[in-house]
């Protein structure tokens, strides 16, 4: 198959959704399919390159930050993408379009499909769905929601990355939605032997934005100053400096690492040296870092929301806590940090669960979906 993937943020730009798309594209290319990705350019990156069998085409946009895109940057991606996409379709004649994110990439897929007749499938992440990330997209959906119905309706298949995302989508769009989880190369990541660190190490990976609730990490760990632990906070964003200040005010600077925005390889290296993924997010689709945490054998303490419901078996490989209940987060972490034998059992359970999210299984599901669409099923 010749596949044109549309996504407005793609590694090294963006977050977990882009990383999930990258892994899928890489897997499809390894299966012998021709995969071209049309994404947004950012200063310092080439406009065209080939990587892991994928042809990457980056188009001019107003994007200025790796960790976030303004509405104007998204709109620019759609407008410039119309011309660039038509040229790619004319030259490469793709059999099908795969778009990640209904907004804004789905709008571009709808336009290109309407103009050329090339069918598309849509993978929806949590931020695509009204109510999914209200603190981030609530204002946008108040006026753009009526324009999103055709995007969902024209798609030949609609995929959600978690059951939570699927249920939200079904409340707003009258289409069939199936779940295909984000995945990771678990065979490559799974450690040969697990050993709890001395002291135990916690890790957070994500954007420093209200959705990720980073202040709750500092508030929680302030209650655990009597225990021996270390914490790495990986990522960048508008709240980073405020988080650093809170850590300093709590007198815990020597117990935290905050390296800023790091590459996926650095994230995985840090995971390999950690014991617990701590993610008190207010909303999540199915976070790629959560899948990677399973594969690297991390216990997970996370909010009782979204895709974490798919990743955590309660009191087996982790705990799910109300996002606003800091004392409950502290109690869960205390029980793991102070009990190395229990922490090791949780870590071993994560490794066992990781097989459900093996990227090879996920890629095979997408390949079947794409083939079904082309065969008219």
Return the CATH number at 86. Answer: 3.40.50.2000
82-101 in b/e form (b: 16+ CB < 10 A) is bebbeebbeeeebbbbbbbb
Would you state the pLDDT for residue 141? 66
Q: What is the rounded distance in angstroms from the CA atom of residue 377 to the CA atom of residue 370? A: 10
Would you state the pLDDT for residue 214? 97
Q: Which residues contact 290 (CB under 8 A, 6 or more apart)?
A: 277, 279, 284, 300, 302, 307, 308, 311
Indicate whether 270 and 336 sit together in one domain.
yes
User: Do you find a cis peptide bond into 148, omega within 30 degrees of 0?
Assistant: no
Cα-based distances in Å from 104 to 100, 125, 167, 240, 350: 9, 12, 21, 26, 34
Indicate whether 50 and 190 sit together in one domain.
no
Indicate whether 85 and 227 sit together in one domain.
no
Indicate whether 264 and 312 sit together in one domain.
yes
Would you state the pLDDT for residue 360? 92
The residue with tokens 């030949």 is: 156
User: In Å, how far from its chain's centre is CA 108?
Assistant: 21
Indicate whether 167 and 232 sit together in one domain.
no
Please list the pLDDT of the chain residue by residue as tens digits (377 residues): 999 999 999 999 887 788 889 999 999 999 999 999 999 999 989 999 999 999 999 999 888 877 677 778 888 999 999 999 999 999 999 999 999 999 899 999 999 999 999 999 999 988 788 766 655 555 666 677 888 899 999 999 999 998 888 998 999 999 999 999 988 776 777 777 899 999 999 999 999 999 899 999 999 999 999 999 999 999 999 999 999 999 999 999 999 999 998 888 899 999 999 999 999 999 887 788 999 999 999 999 999 988 899 899 999 999 999 999 999 999 999 999 999 999 999 999 999 999 888 899 999 999 999 999 999 87
Indicate whether 112 and 256 sit together in one domain.
no
On whether the CB atoms of residues 25 and 35 are closer than 8 A, the answer is yes
Would you state the pLDDT for residue 73? 87
Would you state the pLDDT for residue 178? 95
Indicate whether 260 and 324 sit together in one domain.
yes
**Domain range holding 42?**
2-183+358-374
Indicate whether 210 and 338 sit together in one domain.
yes
Indicate whether 14 and 97 sit together in one domain.
yes
Would you state the pLDDT for residue 62? 84
Indicate whether 84 and 136 sit together in one domain.
yes
Query: Number of folded domains in the chain?
Result: 2
Largest CA distance in the chain: 64
Would you state the pLDDT for residue 87? 97
Indicate whether 78 and 133 sit together in one domain.
yes
Would you state the pLDDT for residue 65? 77
User: In Å, how far from its chain's centre is CA 227?
Assistant: 31
Indicate whether 244 and 365 sit together in one domain.
no
């Amino acid at each position: 198959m010749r596949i044109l993937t549309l996504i407005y943020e793609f590694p090294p730009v963006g977050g977990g959704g882009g990383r999930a798309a990258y892994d899928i594209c890489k897997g499809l290319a390894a299966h012998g399919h021709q995969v071209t990705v049309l994404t947004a350019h950012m200063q310092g990156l080439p406009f065209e390159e080939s990587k892991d069998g994928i042809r990457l085409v980056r188009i001019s946009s107003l994007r200025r930050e790796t960790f976030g895109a303004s509405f104007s940057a998204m709109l620019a991606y759609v407008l410039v993408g119309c011309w660039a996409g038509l040229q790619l379709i004319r030259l490469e004649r793709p059999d099908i379009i795969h778009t990640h994110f209904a907004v804004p990439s789905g709008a571009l897929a709808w336009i290109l499909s309407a103009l050329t007749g090339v069918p598309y499938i849509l993978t929806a992440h949590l931020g695509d769905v009204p109510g999914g990330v209200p603190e981030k997209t609530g204002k946008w959906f108040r006026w753009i929601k009526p324009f999103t119905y055709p995007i969902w309706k024209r798609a030949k298949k609609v995929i959600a990355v978690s059951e939570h995302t699927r249920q939200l989508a079904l409340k707003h769009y009258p289409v069939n939605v199936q779940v295909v989880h984000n995945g990771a190369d678990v065979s490559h990541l799974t450690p040969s032997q697990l050993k709890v660190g001395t002291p135990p190490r916690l890790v957070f990976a994500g954007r420093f934005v209200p959705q990720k609730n980073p202040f709750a990490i500092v508030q929680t760990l302030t209650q655990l100053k009597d225990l021996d632990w270390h914490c790495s906070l990986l990522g960048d964003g508008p709240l980073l400096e405020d988080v650093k200040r809170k850590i300093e005010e709590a007198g815990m600077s020597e117990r935290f690492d905050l390296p800023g925005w790091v590459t996926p390889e650095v994230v995985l290296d840090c995971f390999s040296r950690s014991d617990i993924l701590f993610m008190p997010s207010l909303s999540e689709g199915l976070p790629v870092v959560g899948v990677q945490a399973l594969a690297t054998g991390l216990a997970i303490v996370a909010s009782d929301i979204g895709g974490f419901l798919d990743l955590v078996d309660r009191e087996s490989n982790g705990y799910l806590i109300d996002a606003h209940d800091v004392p409950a987060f502290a109690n869960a972490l205390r029980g793991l940090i102070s009990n190395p034998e229990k922490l090791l059992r949780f870590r071993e359970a994560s490794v066992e669960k990781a097989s459900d999210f093996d990227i090879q299984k996920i890629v095979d599901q997408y390949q079947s979906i794409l083939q079904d669409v082309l065969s008219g099923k």
